[in-house]
Structure 1
Amino acid sequence: MKIIDLSQTIHSDMPVYPGDPEVKVSLVHTYKTHSWTLRKLELSTHTGTHVDAFSHMHESLASLDEIPLERFFGEARVVSDKIPLKQRIGLFFVEEISLEMLDTLLQAKPNFVGGHLTEDLERALLANEIITYTDLINLEQLPFDYSFTFYGLPLKIQEGDGSPVRAIAILEE
């Protein structure tokens, strides 16, 4: 088994989407002062590698705490817009994918989609209750069009529109 980390490291002053709050990670307690360490996180629900709930772009749709946990993991593949898509699995794209792919994706009925998605495509996928993952890294380390198991579990945030995740791919060797 091989595990590929698909998550960005969260740190102060990391890049954020224009207009989103800046990320701040500060040390609150130290071993010297309290005999343990504790950090305070200031970040948005869409910081770094994250998952988007349907409610992120559609007010009347489900938030993170309303989406069944099993929707956030499963079989997946890295694919392109030039090959037929396998049905009912997670799909990840290394290159940017636009709204022109929507009909093809809806026919494949993916459990989730991630990678470099345009905002219009992301909005359309969420409207069709397809979970989206954003700001994944290391997708190029995964074999193209080869099945692996993906996990991208969100924090259980009440009425959560999104959440940072620790996203991983598990490849059987």
Structure 2
Amino acid sequence: MQFIDLSREIHHRAPAPFGHPPISMGVWNDHSEVKQAGATRFTSKSYFLSMSDHSATHVDAPCHFNPDPNAPSIDAVPLENFYTEAICLDLSHVPLKHEITVPEMEEALARSGQEIKPRDTVLIEMGVIKRLWGTPGYLQDFPGLHVDSVHWLADRGILMFGVEAISPAPLMEPNYKAHLACAERGITHMESMWNLDKLVGKGRFRFIGFPLKIRGGTGSPIRAVAVLDD
């Protein structure tokens, strides 16, 4: 059994999605401060964190773009939705800022030799980390899904899809159309993933990506992991 970490590191001023605050992280106390409880002397260290519920590797809740008051927040989404079978499609060849079309999705699926089953998680490797990580383009030049491709995935009964980019589709209108399509179709997606290139050609695997139990949360950071059989 092999575990592949699909989560981006959380650190001070980590890249944040457009319109969301950056992660603020610092020392709350450290081992320079000696504490005492009764006759026991000790030191301890801890950090404080301030961040959006859409920070780092995260999943969107249905209520993020669905204004229906009954749209579930992240704490109301069933846990089994984050423990699924999964496949990864290789679209790392597409141009930057490109909207991936349905024929391109169909071609990638055919090349994978897999099928998309109901309640799957579909991860989409677009070469974002290899091409853009550590550059200003990471926040603005990434490719993503055309809204028709979001509907194509929903038509196949998936639970969610995941991308390395900070949004599921290129910036501005395509991004908002993709989010609204997820809300309309009752699926969701994960953003800012890592190591998707390590899943290309691996067939089916187990995906784990449990959210924090944030009351009323519109999303949540996750520790996303792929579990591959030996």
Larger deviation, residues 120-129 vs 21-30: 120-129
Q: Which residue of 1 aligns with 2:97?
A: none
1:172–1:110 CA distance, 2 compared to 1 (3 A): same
Structure-2 separation of matches of 1:9 and 1:126: 28
Structure 1 residue aligned with 2:151, among 74, 99, 103? 103
Structure-2 separation of matches of 1:41 and 1:65: 20
| Aligned-pair CA distance for 1:129 | 1.8
Structure-1 separation of matches of 2:209 and 2:184: 20
Larger deviation, residues 161-170 vs 83-92: 83-92
Query: Which amino acid in the other structure matches residue 53 of structure 1?
Result: A
1:103–1:169 CA distance, 2 compared to 1 (3 A): same
Report the TM-score, using the length of structure 2 for normalisation.
Answer: 0.71
Larger deviation, residues 82-91 vs 33-42: 82-91
Q: Does 1:42 align with 2:46?
A: no
Identity over aligned pairs, percent: 28
Matches within 5 A, 1:49-64: 49-60=57-68, 61-64=71-74
Larger Rg: 2
Name the structure with the higher strand share: 1
Deviating beyond 2 angstroms after TM superposition, the runs of 4 or more aligned structure 1 residues are: none
SS of equivalent to 2:32? helix
Conserved? CA contact 1:91–1:113, under 8 Å: yes
SS of equivalent to 1:124? helix
Q: Does 1:23 align with 2:32?
A: no
Q: Deviations over 1:99-135 (max 9, x none)?
A: 1213321221102111152122233123322121111
Q: Which residue of 2 aligns with 1:128?
A: 185
Q: Which residue of 2 aligns with 1:90?
A: 121
Q: Deviations over 1:27-83 (max 9, x none)?
A: 011123141111000110001100000001112211111111111121000025022
Conserved? CA contact 2:151–2:181, under 8 Å: no
Structure 2 gap ranges (5+): 36-42, 91-104, 127-143, 170-174
Conserved? CA contact 1:53–1:126, under 8 Å: no
Q: Does 1:144 align with 2:201?
A: yes
Structure 2 residue aligned with 1:112, among 141, 144, 160? 160
Structure-1 separation of matches of 2:18 and 2:155: 33
Provide the aligned length of Structure 1 versus Structure 2.
Answer: 173
What is the aligned-residue RMSD (CA, Å)?
Answer: 1.5
Conserved? CA contact 2:88–2:124, under 8 Å: yes
| Aligned-pair CA distance for 1:145 | 6.3
Structure-1 separation of matches of 2:28 and 2:46: 5
Q: Which residue of 2 aligns with 1:169?
A: 226
Structure-2 separation of matches of 1:30 and 1:64: 33
| Aligned-pair CA distance for 1:13 | 1.2
Structure-1 separation of matches of 2:184 and 2:79: 19
Report the TM-score, using the length of structure 1 for normalisation.
Answer: 0.93
